[in-house]
């Protein structure tokens, strides 16, 4: 009698465990089949996690690349710089079409980067003395990028739009601090004169009112970076697009800070000269 009663709680516990497993399986199917389904999900999740690490890094690298490669190149050979933008576009399209999944994502990223590269080559090659045209030229592919956010080119479009947003913040800061008024003179000056003008431009930013505006914009950019990262973490499965945009915006902020520092300490090394 004692043995019978002692087995009843155990039976009830087993029954409750079975019912819990059944509820997790959504009804039919065995525990083994449920484990198979879970195992099948492991690979895509790991792939997305790797993407969050890899693609934002490459996006940041592509933001930095024009500073060291395009800036000196476009001053000497703007036409070949434009042609190289078309090469990047072709490589991106082909990679997206024939490569494995990770290669396809990088191909999409290259397509977005080609838009930024082409716009930069066009502006700095022929229109650099007209600062008000900077943002419109950079935004030449804006309609395509907005449309492409719902296609397989989503990553490239996010890169281009985040870069464009960073450019808009930079140009707005230059306009509000008075630096943009010196832009045509810097472009037309000799390297020695341009260094002096850049130092003068940097001192504009060090005024209290200018520092307040620049600091406020920096805070706004950092808030946008945090928002993008939160959106990426809240997505199920995790969406690398938001992390990529955050990386682009944060890298743009770092480059602007570096440019200001170089303009003050070593203007001859600034990419604008």
Q: What is the pTM of this model?
A: 0.79
Q: How many residues does the chain have?
A: 273
The predicted structure's pLDDT at residue 136? 97
Q: Measured in whole angstroms, how far is the alpha carbon of residue 83 from the centre of its chain?
A: 24
**Which residue reads 């290669």 in tokens?**
103
Q: What is the pLDDT of residues 170-179, one digit of tens each?
A: 999 999 999 9
**What per-residue confidence (pLDDT) applies to 14?**
42
Q: At what angle do helices 101-122 and 154-177 cross, to 10 degrees?
A: 30
Task: Judge contact between 206 and 223, C-beta under 8 A.
Answer: no
Instruction: Flag whether pLDDT at 246 surpasses 60.
Output: yes
Cα 146 to Cα 96, 99, 107: the distances in Å are 19, 25, 18
pLDDT value of position 236: 63
Instruction: Tell which wins on pLDDT, 269 or 18.
Output: 269
pLDDT, one tens digit per residue, over 12-24 is: 444 444 333 334 4
Share of the chain above pLDDT 70, in %: 77
Triad 238, 101, 38: Cα angle to 5°: 50
Q: How confident is the model at residue 37 (pLDDT cuts 50, 70, 90)?
A: very low
Residues above pLDDT 90, as percent of the chain: 58
How does pLDDT run across 77-110, given as a tens digit for each residue? 999 999 999 999 999 999 999 999 889 999 999 9
Instruction: Indicate the range of 117-121, 170-174, 230-234, 237-241 predicted with least confidence.
Output: 237-241
> Residue 252 — left, alpha, or beta (φ > 0 → left; ψ -120 to 50 → alpha)?
alpha
Best CA proximity match to 75, nearest among 137, 139, 129: 129
| Cβ 96 vs Cβ 152: under 8 Å | yes
For residue 187, name the pLDDT band (cuts at 50, 70, 90).
confident
Handedness of CA 247, 50, 106, 147 (dihedral sign): negative
Lowest-pLDDT range of 4-18, 58-72, 227-241, 258-272: 4-18
Mean pLDDT over all residues of the chain?
A: 81
Tell me which residue of 155, 157, 159, 121 sits closest to 138, measured CA to CA.
121
Query: 52-69 pLDDT, tens per residue?
Result: 458 999 999 999 999 889
The alpha carbon torsion through 84, 256, 159, 222 (nearest 10 deg) reads 170
Both ends of the chain: CA-CA distance in Å? 95
Placement of tokens 């198979």 in the chain? 36
DSSP state, 182? G
pLDDT at 270: 60
- Report the pLDDT averaged over residues 150-154: 94
User: Confidence band (pLDDT; 50, 70, 90) for 233?
Assistant: confident
User: Given pLDDT bands bounded at 50, 70 and 90, which one contains residue 189?
Assistant: confident
- From CA 185, how far away is CA 171, in angstroms rounded? 16
pLDDT of 28 higher than 80: no
C-alpha distances out from residue 82 to 58, 75, 137, 249, Å: 21, 12, 13, 24
107 within 8 A of 97, measured Cβ to Cβ = yes
Q: How many other CB atoms are found less than 10 A from the CB of residue 101?
A: 9
- Model pLDDT, residue 267: 64
Q: Can you list the alpha helix ranges (DSSP code H) found in the chain?
A: 2-25, 31-65, 71-76, 78-98, 101-122, 134-138, 142-148, 154-177, 183-188, 191-205, 208-234, 240-265
At residue 204, the pLDDT reads 83
């Amino acid at each position: 009698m004692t043995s019978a009663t002692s087995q009843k709680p155990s039976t009830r516990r087993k029954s409750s465990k079975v019912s819990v497993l059944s509820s997790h399986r959504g009804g039919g199917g065995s525990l083994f089949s449920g484990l198979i389904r879970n195992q099948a999900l492991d690979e895509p999740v790991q792939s997305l996690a790797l993407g969050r690490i890899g693609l934002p890094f490459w996006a940041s690298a592509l933001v930095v690349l024009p500073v060291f490669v395009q800036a000196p190149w476009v001053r000497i050979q703007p036409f070949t710089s434009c042609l190289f933008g078309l090469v990047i576009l072709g490589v991106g399209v082909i990679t997206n079409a024939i490569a494995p999944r990770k290669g396809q994502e990088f191909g999409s990223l290259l397509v977005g980067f080609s838009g930024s590269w082409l716009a930069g080559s066009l502006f700095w090659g022929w229109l650099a003395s007209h600062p008000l045209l900077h943002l419109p030229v950079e935004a030449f592919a804006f309609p395509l990028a907005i449309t492409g956010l719902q296609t397989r080119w989503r990553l490239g479009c996010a890169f281009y739009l985040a870069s464009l947003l960073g450019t808009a913040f930079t140009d707005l800061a230059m306009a509000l601090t008075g630096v943009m008024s010196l832009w045509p003179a810097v472009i037309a000056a000799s390297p020695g004169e341009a260094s002096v003008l850049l130092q003068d431009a940097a001192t504009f930013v060090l005024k209290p009112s200018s520092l307040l505006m620049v600091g406020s914009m920096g805070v706004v950019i950092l808030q946008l970076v945090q928002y993008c990262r939160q959106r990426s973490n809240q997505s199920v499965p995790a969406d690398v697009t938001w992390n990529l945009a955050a990386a682009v915006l944060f890298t743009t902020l770092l480059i602007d800070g570096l440019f200001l520092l170089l303009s003050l300490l070593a203007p001859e090394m600034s990419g604008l000269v």
